[in-house]
Structure 1
Amino acid sequence: MPPVAQYLWDWFWDIRRSQPAGFNGPTPITNSELMAWVSRTGHVVRPEEAAILIDMDGEFVGAGHPTISPA
């Protein structure tokens, strides 16, 4: 990811940190969980940023990562 978009990785890992693991690996971030995170942090998230975060999470969940710590 380009350095200009590093904040998206930071946001993603901050949101993922509060996600419980399911029986089959990580559970997807829901819209309500994203809204709760926005409310808690005060970040202004544009629709395209929210879509990117949800897409990133889809890739993460689909890859079946056993842990949620950033590399």
Structure 2
Amino acid sequence: MPENYRHCWSWFGELSRTRSSNGFGQNPISYSEIDAWSRLTSIELTPLEVSAIMRLDSAYLTIQAEQIAQRSKKK
């Protein structure tokens, strides 16, 4: 991640801790959740920062799904 977007990693962590799940795994972070977080923290996000958070979330969920698949193969 470019140095000038490292703060997005911290913001992603805050958002990720509040994510919901659906019984099959964790749900993606939604735009409405990002919007609510932004309003509650008084942090104005740029479109590029939102995009960075969404890309981090996608990567996170992909890794989680891979780990779950690997664990189920070991059973």
TM-score band by shorter chain is 0.7 to 0.9
**Which structure is higher in RCO with an 8 Å CA cutoff and minimum separation 6?**
1
User: Greater strand percent: which structure?
Assistant: 1
1:5–1:48 CA distance, 2 compared to 1 (3 A): closer
Question: 1:9 and 1:56 mapped to 2: Cα distance?
Answer: 8
Whole-Å separation in 1 of the counterparts to 2:59 and 2:16: 13
What is the Cα deviation at residue 3 of structure 1? 4.3
**TM-score normalised over the length of structure 1:** 0.78
More helix by share: 2
The equivalent residue for 1:10 is: 10
Post-superposition shift, 1:2? 4.6
Q: Which moved more, 1:1-10 or 1:53-62?
A: 1-10
Q: 1:22: which partner in 2?
A: 22
Equivalent residue, structure 2, for 1:48: 48
RMSD value, Cα: 1.8
Following the alignment from structure 2 to structure 1, what is the Cα–Cα distance between the partners of residues 54 and 2?
A: 18
SS at match of 1:38: helix
Query: 2:61 matched to 1:61?
Result: yes
Q: Percent identity?
A: 26
